[in-house]
Amino acid sequence: MSKPKIFVSYSRADTDYVSRLVEDLRTNGFDVWFDANIRTGNEWDNTLEAEIKKADVMVLILSATSVDSENVKDEMSYAMNLDKFVNPIKIEECDIPMRLARRQYVDFNTMGYADGLDRLIVDINYQVKGKEHSKSNPAVGEVKNDPVKKETKAPVAAPSKLASESKVSPAGTTSSSTASKTLPQKKNSLLYYIAGGIALVLVGVFVVPKLLPDNDKNAFDIAMSQDTKGAYETYLSTYAQGKFALQARDSVDSKVNKVRAAESIRLIQEEETQWVKTTQEGDKIAYEIYIRDYREGRYVNQALDSIQKLEKDAANIAKDNANWAIVKNKNNVSDYLAYYMDPNVIGLHKDDAKAKVAEIGNTGYLYYGRRNGDKASNDRMFNVICCGGSEVMDDKIPATGDILMTLESRYTYRDIKTRTKTGKLVEKGKRAFVTGVKASADNSIIVKVLY
């Protein structure tokens, strides 16, 4: 039995992909032709037409370039006009040509190369087997002419015997009594033959099939007991038009879909693991690698937002470092505290600013004002400007950790009891850091500050 012949129609841009497919089809027992087989000097169109005519089936490669190729369209149309089996396979996202819109195609892009190849091989074997079956089993009503049998004449009776059995009528003709007796016997014999023929036909149709083993059913039972994609494909390769062919094809599709679903779950889990790793690393390069590997992934938008934030943070970091350099150059408590509370920088050096305040700041006590319930009186000397939740809290009673701004210049005391001045001034508009708060019996509020 000769190998099934396949003609491959494709675009030159897909040569590498097609070369691999051709090699795999040849490995699976097919005689594959594509235009790389054209010998130097052959007429191109004549060769293509001849090879399409010789082919049992055509494999049509659908890609972004092939669907726009006039040569591919011509080959497809020529094969369809010859009533060839055309098997479209889609290897990448592209528009399906109008003439193929109602045809089933194998989506290698979605199924994956290995599963797509398996499905294509099953389909081609199905088509070739069906074609061979049609050739070997002529249509109902088609009768082959048997050689004409020569009719054997009965031996002629001897004249003497014939004369003795025949009577001569007065008109000189032979009596027909003998003929009238043999005619009913011939009619009865013909009826016997017809009835016997009908009986044989009925036996052949209804009895013989029941006596013979049902190989089709036995093969399908074996496939069902194994219940694998390969088992159903083996059944179809032998019984392409068998009683259970449709059920077998459905089972193959079901197995392919299960494999596809399992692969989809695996890819989702793989992407989930990669995303966790990406967020743990948290840098721009990690997010860019995720986007490269998962262009249509579930977290692409989040990755893009993270990259944008990191780029913005990079600019803020540069700005923050520049401000910190200026503050360090000035090297005074008020500017360190101004940096500490600046909302326009991300404050990478806030801890450093507090440490510098403690390092270079002078310690002293100041009269803040009087307590009026849970607020400070209007005769206070400072405003709390940070850090109780808002920028300026005019009448707030200060607490440790707050930053104050003086409403007027004030000298500090060495201690609360004697209120001996230190001789050092907290200038108007400058900032001081609260390290402690004391309340006296007369509701006076005394704060200990670094300035």
Number of H helices, E strands in the chain: 15, 13
pLDDT at residue 170, as a whole number: 44
DSSP 410-429: EEEES-TTT--EEEEEE-TT
Mean pLDDT lowest among 57-61, 78-82, 431-435: 431-435
Q: Which of 180-194, 236-250, 265-279 has the lowest mean pLDDT?
A: 180-194
Our CA angle for 329, 334, 338, nearest 5°, is 85
Partners of 82 in the β-ladder: none
pLDDT of 271 over the 70 cut: yes
Residue-wise DSSP of 237-305: HH-TTSTTHHHHHHHHHHHHHHHHHHHHHHHHHHHHHHHHHHHHH-SHHHHHHHHHH-TT-TTHHHHHH
- Look at residue 427 and tell me whether its pLDDT is greater than 80: yes
Of 59, 68, 58, 65, the residue nearest 97 (C-alpha): 68
Distance, CA of 84 to CA of 20 (rounded, Å): 24
**% the chain with pLDDT above 70:** 81
Q: Residue 175: what pLDDT?
A: 45
**Which segment of 185-194, 234-243, 432-441 scores lowest on mean pLDDT?**
185-194
Please say whether the beta carbons of 202 and 209 come within 8 A. Answer: no
Q: What pLDDT sits at residue 61?
A: 97
pLDDT digit string, tens, across residues 224-265: 999 999 999 999 999 988 889 989 999 999 989 988 888 889
pLDDT at 39 over 70: no
C-beta neighbour count of 1 within 10 angstroms: 4
φ/ψ of residue 290, rounded to 5: -60, -45
- 92 has a pLDDT exceeding 90: yes
Instruction: Indicate whether 416 pLDDT > 60.
Output: yes
Q: What is the pLDDT of residues 295-322, one digit of tens each?
A: 989 999 999 999 999 888 888 888 889 9
Please state, in angstroms and as integers, the Cα–Cα distance from residue 89 to each residue in 20, 133, 255, 425, following that order: 14, 25, 19, 88
pLDDT (mean) for 67-87 = 95
Asked whether residue 162 carries a pLDDT value surpassing 70, the answer given is no
Write down how long the chain is. 451
Global pTM value: 0.35
Least confident piece of the model among 79-83, 153-157, 267-271, 278-282: 153-157
Between CA 92 and CA 11 the distance in angstroms is: 13
For CA atoms 108, 114, 120, 126, give the dihedral sign: negative
**CA distances from residue 320 to 74, 306, 312, 348, 350 in whole angstroms, order as listed:** 67, 20, 12, 7, 10
Show the domains of the chain with their CATH numbers. Answer: 5-135 (3.40.50.10140), 362-450 (no CATH)
260 token code pair? 């596809």
Reported as a single tens digit per residue, the pLDDT across 124-157 is 999 988 777 666 655 433 434 443 333 444 444 4
For the cut 60, the answer to whether the pLDDT of residue 25 exceeds it is: yes
For residue 402, report the phi and psi dihedrals to the nearest 5 degrees: -75, 160
Measured distance CA(154)–CA(447) in Å, rounded: 150
Average pLDDT, the chain: 82
pLDDT above 90 covers a percentage of the chain that reads: 45
Average pLDDT for 203-221: 78
In this prediction, residue 80 carries a pLDDT of 95
Identify any residues that bridge with 405 across adjacent strands, giving them in sequence order: 383, 431
Do 339 and 324 touch, CB atoms closer than 8 A?
yes
Residue 40: pLDDT over 90: no
pLDDT of 207 reads: 66
**What is the mean predicted confidence (pLDDT) over 54-81?**
96
Supply the pLDDT for residue 325.
94
